[in-house]
Amino acid sequence: MKVALINSFDERNQQAVAWQINQVLTGELDELWLATPHEDAVQIARDLGLESHQVFDLCSQSYLADQADGEGVWFYDLKVPNQGQLVVNKDWTKSISVAGHLVADVRWFANSNRLVQAVTWQNEGGQVDRKDIYQRNGRLFAKQYFSNGQLLQSDFYVGFDQMVCQDFYFQGMRNFVIDKNQRHYDSAENYLKHVMEKQGRCDVHISTVDRCLVLAPTGTTLALPEGVLDDQGNVWPDLVMVLTNQNHAVSRVLVAEIDREKLKKAGLPLDKVELLA
């Protein structure tokens, strides 16, 4: 099976990521794997023309097709503290207040009939204390906990009744993960690599030299339809590393003919380089 690995649906408008998604739409690749879960993944996939059984969320180890249907959480159905009020401000920001004091900010899903996407609760000092994130179907996506405004922990449900994994943060870095079987991982990347290994042998394709390069399993194909140079006109350092390290997980690099000439001119080895079809 040939799969496209992308970091997040939030990057879907980037040219290289959009190209990768199109490879699934045209049948060149079989599935799309998401390294980062997204609360609106089902709607985004639908808008892109992807079938829900084609998109696999690594965090929850499930296909979007496995997620339940639902009508969502309507803004005015939100549970609020005693004497709490739901407020829609003149600038269309939404909030919850108690006795005139702001206790939470509320965000709706775009292009929805006031369906709640997230509720960000504040402590008495006005700092973020907790964040409840929902899917468009009304199921809980995640709960996040903060201290002094800094994110400490994310409990992911991704629409399921039971938690699917927990992320813990230190100094802004996600550096500890517990999965649904209570196994521990010293980084989110190691957890995701474990999940990918469980899927069996797959032909993984990536199109960006970012986090996906860290996650790439042995034998990965890196396609670069948007070129091989950075904004300064130099070959990306990560690409140089791929081409000069014979033990790197990426075994094939697909580029346009003009970009192959640029790599040759830069004096880089071309044994991994092939031309894009």
3-state secondary structure the chain: CEEEEECCHHHCCCHHHHHHHHHHHCCCCCEEEECCCCCCHHHHHHHHCCCHHHEEECCCCEEHHHCCCCCCCEHHHCCCCCCEEEEECCCCCEEEEECCEEEEEEEECCCCCCEEEEEEEECCCCCEEEEEEECCCCCEEEEEEEECCEEEEEEECCCCCCCCEEEEEECCEEEEEEECCCCEECCHHHHHHHHHHHCCCCEEEECCCCHHHHHCCCCEEEECCCCCECCCCCECHHHHHHHHCCCCCEEEEEECHHHHHHHHHCCCCCCCEEECC
In which region does residue 93 sit, left (phi positive, over 0), alpha (psi from -120 to 50) or beta (all else)? beta
Look up tokens 């207040």; give the residue.
97
Range 25-31 average pLDDT: 98
Range 189-214 average pLDDT: 95
Confidence of residue 172 (pLDDT cuts 50, 70, 90): confident
pLDDT(98) > 80 = yes
Q: Which of 82-91, 215-224, 252-261 has the lowest mean pLDDT?
A: 82-91
Residue 83's pLDDT is what? 84
Confidence of residue 168 (pLDDT cuts 50, 70, 90): very high
Residue 224's pLDDT is what? 97
**Cβ contact 167:180 at 8 Å:** no
Confidence of residue 70 (pLDDT cuts 50, 70, 90): confident
Report how far residue 235's alpha carbon sits from residue 266's, in angstroms, rounded to the nearest whole number: 8
For the chain, give the mean pLDDT: 95
Residue 69's pLDDT is what? 83
Q: Give percent of the chain above pLDDT 70.
A: 100
Residue 68's pLDDT is what? 81
pLDDT(3) > 90 = yes
pLDDT(91) > 90 = no
Residue 249's pLDDT is what? 97
Report how far residue 167's alpha carbon sits from residue 179's, in angstroms, rounded to the nearest whole number: 9
Confidence of residue 223 (pLDDT cuts 50, 70, 90): very high
* Cβ neighbours around 61 below 10 Å, total: 17
* Cβ neighbours around 244 below 10 Å, total: 11
The model's pLDDT over 113-152, given as tens digits with 9 standing for 90+, comes to 899 999 999 998 889 999 999 999 999 999 999 998 899 9
- Name the nearest CA neighbour of 40 among 131, 137, 168, 151: 137
The highest-level CATH class for domain 75-186 is: alpha beta
Residue 100's pLDDT is what? 85
Range 250-269 average pLDDT: 97
Domain range annotation of the chain: 2-67+191-227+248-255, 75-186, 228-247+256-277
Cα of 14 vs its chain's centroid, Å: 14
Report how far residue 187's alpha carbon sits from residue 167's, in angstroms, rounded to the nearest whole number: 9
